Homo-oligomer: A and B are copies of this chain.
Amino acid sequence: MNLQAAQPNILRKMIKQGKLTGHTSGMAKGYVQANVVILPSKYAYDFLLFCFRNPKTCPLLDVAEKGSKSFINYAANADISTEVASYRVYHHGKFTETRAHIDDLFTEDMVSFLIGCSFTFEHALLDAGIPIRHIEENHNVPMYITNKPVNPSGQFKGNMTVSMRPMTMEQAIKATEITTHFKNVHGTPIHIGNPAEIGIKQLSKPDFGEPVLIKENEVPVFWGCGVTPQSVALDAKPEIMMTHAPGQMFITDVPDNQLSN
């Protein structure tokens, strides 16, 4: 089966049935993939405000009604509790387990959020001839927790997580120009050039994902990353929080080009 050409709902059913596992980069090409955060309703206001206050790290795409497993605009017939390849569960801010399904943990009180993912703008960068190293190397993007604080909302606070893509400075300028038009999927870079300036000590040791080769004529380019809510959860300590596992995104029914603005 050609996973790149497959329709989102077909892939989601395969994921539900356990026939498809691992990272979803490159699947259902042309469709938006999203970060997932699921929280008890008493945290929903603070988290919604957190997204509003941090559009570069947490660009909000859709919010399900309380207790609903589907998204009116992004995936009206989906089941968010079974159609992600791998979930992470946190209790009181501690990562407790990875799971294939979370339907037994999902209650009528849960609110589910979809947050933009950089896969969307990567397609636009590739189309413009900008190479994406981690795709060339066929693994997950390297992600780093920075020393830059997010704009806090209630108990959601902490430092921003970024993803990194190496490229020449000319390509970095072009990539900034292109991502100006993708504000719903992290927008323009947070930083270009000096990792130390945003508190990153070793590019070879990412906090999530895997390191990539940086060539001699290249600079590291950092974008806000939708894993930020997961690192922020360490501080927020909600009694339960469920997310996708990094790189194993929720595949929506919405075409990428709807997010260009």
Bound complex: CA of A183 vs CA of B55, how far in Å?
14
Bound complex: CA of A88 vs CA of B259, how far in Å?
37
A48 — which chain B residues lie within 8 A by C-beta? 45, 48-49, 52
Interface size counted on chain A using CB atoms at 8 A: 9
Bound complex: CA of A261 vs CA of B183, how far in Å?
10
Task: Answer yes or no: A15 CB below 8 A from chain B CBs.
Answer: no
A45 — which chain B residues lie within 8 A by C-beta? 44-45, 48
Contact partner of A60 among B44, B52, B63, B183, CB < 8 A?
A: B52
A49 — which chain B residues lie within 8 A by C-beta? 48, 63
**Nearest B residue to A41, CB-CB:** B45
Q: Beyond A45-B48, A48-B52: 9 further Cβ-contacts under 8 Å?
A: A44-B45, A45-B45, A48-B48, A48-B49, A49-B63, A52-B52, A52-B60, A52-B63, A183-B261
- What 6 A-B pairs are tightest by C-beta distance, nearest first? A45-B45, A48-B48, A44-B45, A49-B63, A48-B49, A52-B60
